Structure 1
Amino acid sequence: YLRLRGGKGVATGAGATAALLPLPLAAAALTWLVALLIWRIVSVASMASAVAFIAAFFAIGPAPQFSPQILPVTVYALALSALVILRHKSNIRRLLQGKEPRIGEKRASKASSG
């Protein structure tokens, strides 16, 4: 649609989450930026922000998190963070192999096609 690679699900989820949990989302966004500046690996920044989001949710989000009124939001927050981590399975594999690209690195070129 927009000819972008990746991130569309994160952007959509962030938009919906901004209305429900603006403070935990802000903490996650700040974590994403700091992690990206430190490691220059988008997948690491994304996974760090997922962990920060759930930590911030329990620290500064609506309470009590397991009350009947808040429980659906708690399940949403946990599922969202878990989904971000699970969607990065191949990135985790490349990180463990030392093959995950950093921002600014040139990609290994594929064999020329004819």
Structure 2
Amino acid sequence: MFFKMMSIIISYLLGSISFSYFIAKIWMGIDIRNYGSGNAGATNVLRVLGTKPAIIALLGDALKGIIAVYLGKLTGDESIMLLCGLAVVIGHNWPIFLKFKGGKGIATSLGVILTISPLSSLILIIIGVFIIYITRYVSLGSITSAIILPFIFYMLHKSGYYLVFALVLTFLALFRHRSNIQRLLSGKESKLGEKKTSRVK
């Protein structure tokens, strides 16, 4: 029981390691949360710093999700594995090391889903990339994939545990994207390729 609890705690702490924050500090000596959208995530790194650091941040955030799920698998308990997946996303969104001001959890969620259900992740990536390609709104692609996630998990796994897990991931994604949803509805959301280096007001 102790190892199971520790795996969840470690997953949260792992999620709290913000690659976007550290890359921005190393790359330009700035706190990424003070620039662009104010979000400590790969999309904001792309807008503020460019493609290369954004890719590093994206891969780092996804890797956190992968490691957390494998840590949960070591317990031999499927429910703990799913809880570790949620814990790492929560850690990314509300990192203890950065006073609980983190990212939106999409890349980390993708790493989690990729490890738990590769087919689900492939479907979500195709849908997300298609939405981003036709609209150039990264947030819309993320939101759409998040909404579809529970339906895909239910169809592929037919498990109550997996459905609840997917619903919680969807809730976390939509909650963290609530400002993006408002901007999308008002037509003020930034599109992919628009560079923003101004400080957050």
TM-score, normalising length: structure 1: 0.76
Cα distance change, pair 106–2 in 1 and its aligned pair in 2 (3 A): closer
Q: Does structure 1 retain, via aligned residues, the 8 Å contact 2:153–2:162?
A: no
Quick one: which of 31, 46, 50 aligns to 2:142?
Answer: 46
Once residues 176 and 127 of structure 2 are traced to their aligned partners in structure 1, the CA distance between those partners, rounded to angstroms, is: 19
The residue identity in structure 2 corresponding to 1:33 is V
Name stretches of at least 5 consecutive residues in structure 1 with no aligned partner. 66-70
Once residues 33 and 74 of structure 1 are traced to their aligned partners in structure 2, the CA distance between those partners, rounded to angstroms, is: 23
> Residue 86 of structure 1: CA displacement?
1.3
Partner deviation per Cα, 1:37-58 (whole Å, 9 max, x = no partner): 0110111010011122222212
Partner deviation per Cα, 1:1-47 (whole Å, 9 max, x = no partner): 23374244222222222121221221111111000001101110100
The residue identity in structure 2 corresponding to 1:43 is S
Q: Does 1:101 align with 2:190?
A: yes
Q: Does 1:31 align with 2:127?
A: yes
Once residues 23 and 43 of structure 1 are traced to their aligned partners in structure 2, the CA distance between those partners, rounded to angstroms, is: 22
Q: More helix by proportion, 1 or 2?
A: 2
The residue identity in structure 1 corresponding to 2:113 is T
Q: Does structure 2 retain, via aligned residues, the 8 Å contact 1:43–1:91?
A: yes
What is the identity percentage for the equivalent residue pairs of Structure 1 and Structure 2? 34
SS at match of 2:191: coil
Once residues 78 and 26 of structure 1 are traced to their aligned partners in structure 2, the CA distance between those partners, rounded to angstroms, is: 18
Shifted more, 11-20 versus 41-50: the winner is: 11-20
